[in-house]
Amino acid sequence: MEDDRQTVNAHLRRARDIVSGPIVRAARSDVGAHRNHGFWRPSAERTGGQSPQTGAIVEQTQRALSDQISVSARSVSGVVVYLLYSGLVQHAGERLCHLNRLWALDKAGLNCCAVTMEPRSVLQSPELAARIEEAKRASPRTDVIPQERHFSRVPPGLLRAVGHQRVAAVVFTQSQAAVAAWRLKRQFAAPAVWDCRGFVHERAILSRTVMQKAKDALGAFSEAIAARVADHAFCVCDAMRGELVSRLGMKRETISVLHNSTDTSRFRPDAAARQAVRSELGLGDQLVFVFSGAALPWHCLRETADFVAQVRSCRADAHLLVLSTDLPRARSEVGQSRLDPAAATLLSVSYLEVPRYLAAADCGLLLIAPTPGKDTCSPMKFSEYLAVGLPLVIGPVVGDYTRWVKEEGLGVVCDPYRPEEWPHRVQELLAAIADSGITERCRRIARERLDLASHVSLIANALRSARCRTTGGNELRSH
């Protein structure tokens, strides 16, 4: 273990030498002119102290965040650049998060330009072309530029995508885009917002190969850069906000929590769809448990199938419905479980079809492994299950959601790696499913906390407050 730590530290030092050199030199040369909106922050802000001017801006920001902004018919004073790094070649769940954010920016009336930096090897691929069209439905101004190895200047493709408009704000997602965002921020004196979805966790680094450790160590350092670049941050749960404060030194009032949410008008209980799907799949009146998503190792599909097998010891009509885009892996995982193959149905359906299949289920399965970093995750499927009114079986460490399930009575918490506890959990679950009020309770929590439409005002407020802090005035306007 000590050798692993030394290896990681060596990679971190090397990453710091490679990445920080030109950035630090450029930042130091601008420390006077760009102190309030460059790479370096005033020492009072870094240490948590406040000058009178800073205190006034923070007070103004807090008032802005507490007010509901109504979108008016005023003209946009600049373009909001939404900057992605490999944003369209990632798995479906992460791409959906990007599309939802673009949708919210559009609904907030902001003039948004989405720019994604993709690997040169996929720029001409048909798959990327299809995903570009998908992104343009959420944000018509979507451009793809090649990834750059060096960021001594704003990437030319990024400048072409922005055109001659003034940049009002830069929102970047993956921390690899932080340096490009910083360059854009300096050139246009615009605030930068980090849309943070997760971290490289130290324990995860220590468990991987040397090459993976090198890559992850560089990723961990890029997160520190992202925190320095950002004037504001979006994160997906309260635990992640705590990590941004404790690990990366960000100030709590500059962080907004936006749980990965869904459109509760699309995902809802649907009696007609329930009957149609059950008839189509021959499920009749069986007790249907649904697993929706990729069959990734930490999603514990094999253990999930074993859990359904445990339920069948009490309810012989229990059936597992798997909705996954990776059917070969899903079939392999379910095939290695103790579940009778006849008690499982595996399907690959488009995302547009997912709501009607979820409506056919009785319970949602989210047995995510309690691995490093899962305390700061926010799986999209949680909001989808709740919006349809499904009680849940959830892992013991799933962001804020495990706590919600306990406090609000939305299902049961179950450790996928402790089967000795499953008999008791099954009895609790069957009692929860029999609760006549649980469907409406799940639906209410989804509407109140996880409705995508609620992000519109939160995002607009956060961008305005970031603008206040960096320019001393609120110049970001909706149209």
For residue 450, pLDDT beyond 90: yes
Of the ranges 44-58, 64-78, 381-395, which is most confident?
A: 381-395
For residue 151, pLDDT beyond 90: no
The residue behind tokens 């289920």 is 361
Q: What is the pLDDT of residue 176?
A: 81
Cα four-point dihedral sign 39, 44, 49, 51:
negative
For residue 60, pLDDT beyond 60: no
Between CA 51 and CA 35 the distance in angstroms is 14
Give, in order, the Cα–Cα distances in Å from 169 to each of 18, 110, 176, 287. Answer: 27, 10, 18, 49
CB-based burial label for 2 (10 Å; 0-12, 13-18, 19+): exposed
Q: Considering only residues 240 and 478, tell me which one the structure prediction assigns the higher pLDDT.
A: 240
Q: What is the pLDDT of residue 92?
A: 73
Q: What is the pLDDT of residue 209?
A: 67
Q: What is the pLDDT of residue 212?
A: 67
- Name the residue ranges covered by the structural domains of the chain: 2-15+65-261+454-471, 271-450
8-17, 117-126, 188-197: range with lowest mean pLDDT = 8-17
For residue 381, pLDDT beyond 70: yes
Task: Tell me the mean pLDDT in the region 240-255.
Answer: 91
Task: Tell me the mean pLDDT in the region 45-61.
Answer: 34
181-185, 210-214, 449-453, 465-469: range with lowest mean pLDDT = 210-214
Pair of tokens at residue 33:
């002119």
Task: Tell me the mean pLDDT in the region 399-426.
Answer: 96
For residue 16, pLDDT beyond 80: no
For residue 422, pLDDT beyond 80: yes
Arithmetic mean of pLDDT over the chain: 79
Q: What is the pLDDT of residue 3?
A: 52
Q: Considering only residues 128 and 398, tell me which one the structure prediction assigns the higher pLDDT.
A: 398
CATH 3.40.50.2000 fits 2-15+65-261+454-471, yes or no: yes
Q: How confident is the model at residue 56 (pLDDT cuts 50, 70, 90)?
A: very low
Task: Tell me the mean pLDDT in the region 239-253.
Answer: 91
Q: Considering only residues 451 and 13, tell me which one the structure prediction assigns the higher pLDDT.
A: 451
Helix (H) or strand (E) holding 146: strand 142-146
Between CA 467 and CA 465 the distance in angstroms is 5
Pick the closest to residue 90 from 80, 81, 99 (CA basis): 99
Q: How confident is the model at residue 42 (pLDDT cuts 50, 70, 90)?
A: very low
Task: Tell me the mean pLDDT in the region 225-246.
Answer: 92
Task: Tell me the mean pLDDT in the region 325-351.
Answer: 94
18-27, 109-118, 129-138, 384-393: range with lowest mean pLDDT = 18-27
Q: What is the pLDDT of residue 411?
A: 97
pLDDT tens by residue, 283-323: 999 999 999 998 888 899 999 999 999 999 999 999 999 99
Q: How confident is the model at residue 69 (pLDDT cuts 50, 70, 90)?
A: very low
Give the global pTM. 0.78
CATH node for 271-450? 3.40.50.2000
Of the ranges 20-29, 96-105, 415-424, which is most confident?
A: 415-424
The 192-195 sheet, strands edge to edge: 142-146, 112-118, 79-85, 167-172, 192-195, 232-235, 255-257
DSSP 185: H
Pair of tokens at residue 117:
């930096």
Q: What is the pLDDT of residue 471?
A: 63
The DSSP code sequence of 262-319 is B-TTTSS--HHHHHHHHHHHT-TT-EEEEEES---GGG-HHHHHHHHHHHHTT-TTEE
Between CA 361 and CA 308 the distance in angstroms is 13
pLDDT tens by residue, 197-210: 887 665 454 455 66
Pair of tokens at residue 57:
């801006």
Q: Considering only residues 472 and 90, tell me which one the structure prediction assigns the higher pLDDT.
A: 90
Q: How confident is the model at residue 25 (pLDDT cuts 50, 70, 90)?
A: very low
Q: What is the pLDDT of residue 276?
A: 97
For residue 452, pLDDT beyond 80: yes
Report helix, strand or coil for 141: coil
Q: Considering only residues 182 and 274, tell me which one the structure prediction assigns the higher pLDDT.
A: 274
For residue 34, pLDDT beyond 90: no
Q: Is the fold of 2-15+65-261+454-471 the same as that of 271-450?
A: yes
CB crowding 160-176: b at 16 or more within 10 Å, else e: ebbeeeebbbbbbbbbb
